[in-house]
Amino acid sequence: MEKLKLLLFGVLLSSCLCDGLKILTVFPVPSPSHGILGDNMVKHLLNGGHEVTYITPFKNKNPHPKLHTIDVSANMKLFDPNMLDVKKIMDGDKYMQDNALLFVLMNSIASSTLGNPNVQKMLKDPNTKFDVIIGEFMFSDLYSALPAVLQCPFIWFSTIEAHSMILNQVHGPLNPAYTADYLVARVPPFSFYGRVHELWTLLVGLYHHNFDYHAKEVSDYETLIAPIAREQGKPVPDFNVLKYNASLLLGNTHVAISNAVPLPPCYKHIGGYHIDEEVKPLPEDLQKIMDSAKHGVIYFSMGSNLKSKDLPDELKQGLLKVFGALKQTVIWKFEENLPNTPKNVQIVQWAPQQSILAHKNLVLFVTHGGLLSITEAVHFGVPLIAIPVFADQYLNANRIEKKGFAIKVDLSRTMDQDLKVALHEVLGNKKYAETAKALSIAYHDRPQKPKDALNFWVEHVVRTRGAPHLRSVAVDIPLYQRVYLDLLALILIALVVLLVVIKKILGLLTSKKSVKQKKN
């Protein structure tokens, strides 16, 4: 009986520890897809009974008594909406696949966020207390410095597939023999050249991340965070200690969609948490269109960053011609009115994507290949045609094509003809729809819903005081030891010494032989 009382007391204590946590969430990237991920994470944490402070560049449309928003909309100035030039991409310009450009941009956003007066005010308030911090990782380690002031565990959240830059913070780089750099976009297995190129890309990336950009992050830490900690009488850890001290890494992933690669115990999949549990009803006009589509519906959307209206006029007309020749109804998310559309093409300036994908008559989704759109397609079991535009979309498109439920089409001025071929292949071959349904079953067959996994692991970090038991031992071992470079160096030295000894011996033997020949 006493043991039972102790057990019940322990359960009660554990539940109290995570009843109404105070959580700081940092989602400062001024991009709509990042806003979707941030908003939904905050929503689930609030529904879990927690109090959330939300650093965001977007205005909150649904105020909540336990939600406190910190406005960093000044970050919008760093994000040029015209940065994505469709015509340049079509002409083969790879400027949006430039690592240096990405790192500089994201470090600027991180510096702007922590230096924002609203964030500085929160940090300088000695009454500010949090139980845990969740920071969005977008190629800057700077948010890991927040615990120096706030004195609580830190959790990283990765918006894209697991990659070496983020995993290096909690474990170590992924093996480049079977893991592609997200910008190189290879799908394993690689050729010999592919493996060598991936290794070189990884080493160059780590070098830039740890040297070229590290100095700027240390400078920002010493300027924006360390003085506040000193003023409050708190210790000021070395930034190198803070950046490798995350308790957990939450990933916007699921293994049914991504590659099955070895991940550390601190990595937790929560992909799909942004998808509504209950499908919202369609607007009356869209409901009528989809219900009456006898041959099914194709939904075409290029996401929130690339606008269909910016496509060349000849390509728009080419696409309309291709769509007009189909028996299916086509819903095209287009940002302005498009004249002379075929009868089977419906133009909408805004579309409830999840509700469209959930409809029984939806037969195909033509997308830009963003991870959120792909996850939604797998959630609802819909085959895809992916037209990647920038960043991780190329890798996403190559991966889902390899998995067999999608076809990749390159963005080009003659894309309409390539799309025509892809449409006939996907619509005419039932294997794409069948594979999409099979992956959807695997995606849904998990022990916890993603929103519940999110709350569980955040609470687990607090309950276990930073989850040190999940910390990978690899993070404390230098890279040269992990890959046995010291052993390789020892073997090479031994070989050199052996060659020198052999050369000496051969030299002695040769000299003795020549002396004997002279005597004779």
| pLDDT tens-place string over residues 89-128 | 787 766 566 777 788 888 999 999 999 999 999 999 999 9
> What is the C-alpha separation between 46 and 64, in angstroms, rounded?
8
Nearest in space to 374 (alpha carbons), one of 405, 348, 347, 335: 405
> What is the C-alpha separation between 434 and 310, in angstroms, rounded?
34
pLDDT value of residue 458: 98
pLDDT value of residue 251: 96
* 24 within 8 A of 134, measured Cβ to Cβ: yes
Omega within 30 of 0 (cis) for the link into 189: yes
> What is the C-alpha separation between 489 and 492, in angstroms, rounded?
5
Collect the ranges in the chain with pLDDT lower than 50: 1-17
Residue found by looking up tokens 């905050």 in the block: 42
How many Cβ atoms are within 10 Å of 483's Cβ, its own excluded? 13
- From the number of C-beta atoms within 10 Å of its C-beta (0-12, 13-18, 19+), residue 166 rates as buried
The fold of the 284-444 domain, in CATH, is: Rossmann fold (3.40.50)
Nearest in space to 249 (alpha carbons), one of 43, 14, 454: 454
What is the chain's Cα-based Rg? Answer: 27
> What is the C-alpha separation between 408 and 418, in angstroms, rounded?
10
The fold of the 2-275+449-476 domain, in CATH, is: Rossmann fold (3.40.50)
| Tokens coding 13 | 């204590």
> What is the C-alpha separation between 239 and 395, in angstroms, rounded?
32
Looking at the DSSP assignment, which residues form a beta bridge with residue 67?
Answer: 52
> What is the C-alpha separation between 358 and 287, in angstroms, rounded?
12
Residue found by looking up tokens 């790192």 in the block: 103
Equal fold, 2-275+449-476 vs 284-444: yes
The residue extents of the domains of the chain are 2-275+449-476, 284-444, 486-519
Strand order in the sheet with 329-333: 345-348, 329-333, 297-300, 362-367, 384-386, 406-408
pTM of the entire predicted model: 0.90
> What is the C-alpha separation between 512 and 122, in angstroms, rounded?
84
| Percent of the chain whose pLDDT exceeds 90 | 70
Amino acid at site 344: N
> What is the C-alpha separation between 500 and 52, in angstroms, rounded?
67
